[in-house]
Structures are given as structure tokens and as C-alpha cells.
Amino acid sequence: MPRYRVTISHGDREAMLDLIRKLRIQIDEHSAQSTESGHSVDAIVEPAEIQELERAGYNVQRHEDVDETGKERQKEVGRGDRYRQPPPR
């Protein structure tokens, strides 16, 4: 199942606290921001959690699929042991 990096926002501070207290959403602790229209945080959630958040009145902005991004980045990793010394001649 895909997981997405999202930005969750809401105008009410108490509703933002409920993300952790009631909805048990794991937020990125260093992403909390206050804006003119309310508050926002970043999190990594599954599609079912996105639907639950939207039904509860939160604005959810979906970014990338973190699993797919991770798989693509793993392709960039080299093969073998780059620290291994070649045998002496």
C-alpha cells in the first residue's frame, strides 16, 4: 500500500492537536507552522488515513509517494564494497 508525504492544515489549533491525540497521525515534529489561515504540519500517511482526515474537515495536500521515491533512490546506490582495498600486486 502506498504511503504519501502530505501537508495537513486546519484553522483550529485544537483540531491540529487532535491529529495526535485522537487520530493517532504521526506528524513530522519539525514541520509545524502557523499561517494566516491556521496551522499546518507534514506527515506520512496511507490513502485510508487521507480519506479519514478529509472527512474530519482537514485540508490534505498530497505530495509524493515515499515508497516509490525510496525505490527509485535505491537504484542509485552502487554495487559492491567501495571501501574494500584491491589485493596487493
Q: What is the DSSP string of 35-76?
A: ETTEEEEEEEE-HHHHHHHHHTT-EEEEEEEHHHHHHHHHTT
CATH of the domain at 25: 3.30.70
- Between 64 and 37, the more confident residue is 64
In a domain, 87, yes or no: no
Residue with cell 516509490: 68
In a domain, 38, yes or no: yes
In the chain, the number of structural domains is 1
pLDDT in the model for residue 86:
80
pLDDT category at 3 given cuts 50, 70, 90 is very high
In a domain, 32, yes or no: yes
**Cβ contacts of residue 12 below 8 Å, gap of 6+?**
38, 39
pLDDT in the model for residue 70:
67
pTM: 0.75
Mean residue pLDDT of the chain comes to 87
- What are 24-62's pLDDT values in tens digits? 998 888 888 887 888 999 999 999 999 999 999 999 999
Alpha-carbon distance of 52 to 50, in angstroms, equals 5
